[in-house]
Structure 1
Amino acid sequence: MSQEIPIPAAESVKFPFKCRAAIMEEFNKPLVIKDVDIDEPQFGECFVKVAAAGVCHSDLHMIKGDWPALSTLPMVLGHEGAGVVVKCGPGVTRFKPGDNAIFLFIPNCGTCESCQTGRPGSCSGAFTRPTGTWADGQSRIHYHGTRKAIPAMSAIGLFSEYTIISQDQLVPIKKSIPLNRASLVGCAVMTGVGAVVNTAKATVGTTVVVVGCGGVGLNAIQGARIAGCDKIIGVDLLQNKLDFAKQFGATHVINGNEVADTIAEVHKLCPGGVDYVLDCIGNAKVIEQGFMMIKGGGTVVAVGIAPQDQAVSINAFMLALTEKKLAGSLYGSARPQVDMPRLLNLYEQKRLMLDELVSKEYTLDQINEGFDLLRGGAVARGVIKMY
């Protein structure tokens, strides 16, 4: 059942608006909770109350410094979430105060080549500005009482009680959807399910291996279940994650710590290989192993984003001879304004598992505990609840 999230009246909001945020001030160190000031929304932007934000492995990659091209210090992390529009800036036509929305970590400008050719999840607008800034190259978040800017992950920065988001990065949703569940569709669910149905285009009766049964991997597994795949094989090193995988639809599981050769185990289950392998970890070695798991004409889909210094080595002779394919999947090849409402419809029909995905909820003050549990593989998904 949905819950009404209390928000200040639009006319009462004065800028800069003081609130709290979790800030990455050093790599490989706990996030720091501090007061920040949120600037007034500019043209096409909304001031929003963040209701819930997922604790995602992508945020952990940022903390670890794995993606230097995407991170800077300091930075407000958080890219998976949902909330309520509080106030609209000039030029906002699609939202009004009180509207509920999922937040997108990639804008959909509608005019670039990717948007115009049906690939809005790869909108180039995200990559034409300084890291962590909004469309005008400026930050909307500052340390309280100063004008020292704090960049924000994906120009949203959801580990903050409030933030500024372009209307191009909002998907309106029904009030009947709990925001602490809808938040997961903003990244893990769309990325995992979309990698199966949009990128791989898996069909009824095909066979799938999902390597890495964390938040994204579990959604790839349930995406394969929803698509009607035959054998759905979950691979992980942790038994608790494999137990989750079976709950979400895996027909078989392989514990990499308990077998001598994971590739051979896959071929035992599916002689000749599988149709699809999805790397939901982001690891070059997994992609190389996946290439040996698929049958001729099969596809390996890179879903997790690997550290920037990793490279994949594939036998070029076999690549041509077997017509095997390698594909990348960013944001589940999403069409967010279409796909995300459809996913929420499946949730309301009890065909998409969101409630079961949330292992633990935290307050903003408990955010570092959330990352500790994520590092240890103890949760399917943790959610920061800010209401």
Structure 2
Amino acid sequence: MKHLLVTGGAGFIGANFVHYWLQRHGSGRLVVIDALSYAGNRANLSSVSSHPAFRFVHGDITDAALLAQLFQQEQIDCVVHFAAESHVDRSITGPDEFIRTNVIGTHELLKAARAAWCRDGSWRGDVRFHHVSTDEVYGSLRTGEAGFTETTAYSPNSPYSASKAASDHLVRAYHHTYGLPVTSSNCSNNYGPFHFPEKLIPLMLVNALEGKPLPVYGKGENVRDWLYVEDHCRAIEAILERGRVGETYNVGGRNEWRNIDIVRHLCGILDRRFATDPTLAGRFPNCPAASGKRVDSLITFVTDRLGHDWRYAIDASKIERELGFEPRQTFESGIEKTVDWYLTHESWWRDVLSGAYRR
């Protein structure tokens, strides 16, 4: 597999994968298609824009004609499908776009791959469609309940997770009905560089630096399993290189944290950073730490969101056993890297917050 089509490659996880893949696989071709909706950002790919193996296409995965053209022009032999609407809150207030992108868009990709790779019932050699999904399709766990496995029954509880569950089923159906060579991965919560600041960790970071409230749903006791985004990229690489066709692999960090503990941990990191780096007070004068106050004074508990799942946790035994994958970052090491990135990429998140990246 040397000619990749990466959907949603200007988004958070997709952009990290593009950087990771081009650093490790310089030959061949990597084509990104991204609709550049609100969370897609060309700036996420600026450092690879001149790479000889890279091409960016501004387009929508529901555009069947464009997909057919790309498969033919670029001789695509591998799809890595990240493109998705992914924010639960947005899916609650506006579910239509989630159905369009996550379900219809995935179906158009599957049809395009089948048309390009199958002739007269025979499949081309080394081709692969890898579908990136989420642990949210499995629903919610109780405290103390064993983590999700690949055989856990689906029980999606939001329009977002329901749309991802539908896309997972379509991928499975195209493999079992038509023989499309597919793999899938269901991953826990990611964090790291380029994370759009509507999600928990980047939202808390930028709000804290700006001295704005840190809104925590309910009592902040909901639990999530966290994985540093580069480790997710490593897992996908392992699946593409060694994964069995037709299989699903759950990817997780074995890092379960309550939301309130995440927020307090971030506040503590910022307290320490400001105490040891006097330049931060000048750059971020509105942060409480700039005047010697605790950042956690900004924590504000807000009304819980509708249908808020209590706990997610991944049992990653299968990918560990079959592919030898284990995360390299603990949550503590990964979150330090994440804070470093946001402190050194202030212009990136300010452009995102202002909307300047879309002009």
Asked if TM exceeds 0.5, the reply is: no
More helix by share: 2
Given the two structures, how large is their TM-score scaled by the length of structure 2?
A: 0.34
More strand by share: 1
Given the two structures, how large is their TM-score scaled by the length of structure 1?
A: 0.32
